[in-house]
Amino acid sequence: AVAQHARRIGSVGSGLIRLAVCTAHAHGCHTFLAQVQSQNAPLFRRLHWQTLAEIEVHGLPHHQMQADLAFYPPISDGERGFLAGQREERAA
């Protein structure tokens, strides 16, 4: 989950999804599933997930989705995370 105030900052959500799946893949995961709120399903589809079923969770519409692990190379040091949006600093 991403705090509401940070949801529109760059690619925080997609970066967290990639980090989670790549790290799990490195630890031997063969199937990665998620229950995704329906409004977020298009983001997951763009990230190579497919809907297995439309379900209801706590009275709200969700998608049971599965990641295409072929799109997520294993990251063995996932604890370090990703560095996103950094630019080289210029010498003054």
Band (pLDDT 50/70/90 cuts) for residue 91 is very low
Q: What is the mean pLDDT of residues 39-59?
A: 96
d(CA 26, CA 32): 12
**At a CB cut-off of 8 Å and minimum separation 6, what does 48 contact?**
67, 68, 71, 72
Per-residue CA distances from 47 to 17, 25, 42, 86, 92 (Å): 9, 15, 9, 22, 39
Provide φ and ψ at 68, rounded to 5°. Answer: -85, 100
Would the pLDDT of 80 be above 80?
A: no
Residue 15 has pLDDT above 70, yes or no: yes
Domain definitions of the chain by residue range: 33-78
